[in-house]
Amino acid sequence: PLGEDIATINKLSQNLHAELLLRRLGVAKGTGSIADGQAVVEAMLAEAGVSDAQVSLSDGSGMSSYNRVAPRATLRLLQFAAHQPWGASFRASLPIGGVDGTLRRRFAGTPLEGKVFAKTGPLNATYALAGWLVAASGRTLTFAIYANDVPEDVRATAIMDRALLALAAAN
Note the pLDDT tens digit of each residue in 88-140: 999 999 999 999 999 999 999 999 999 999 999 888 889 999 999 999 999 99
* Contacts of residue 50, Cβ cutoff 8 Å, sequence gap at least 6: 73, 76, 77
H helix count then E strand count, the chain: 6, 5
Which among 8, 5, 3 is positioned nearest to 101, based on CA atoms?
A: 8
pLDDT band at 62 (very low <50, low <70, confident <90, very high): confident
12, 4 Cβ separation under 8 angstroms = no
- Compute the average pLDDT of residues 154-161: 93
Which residue blocks in the chain are alpha helix, DSSP H?
2-12, 15-29, 34-48, 71-82, 87-93, 156-170
| This prediction's pTM | 0.94
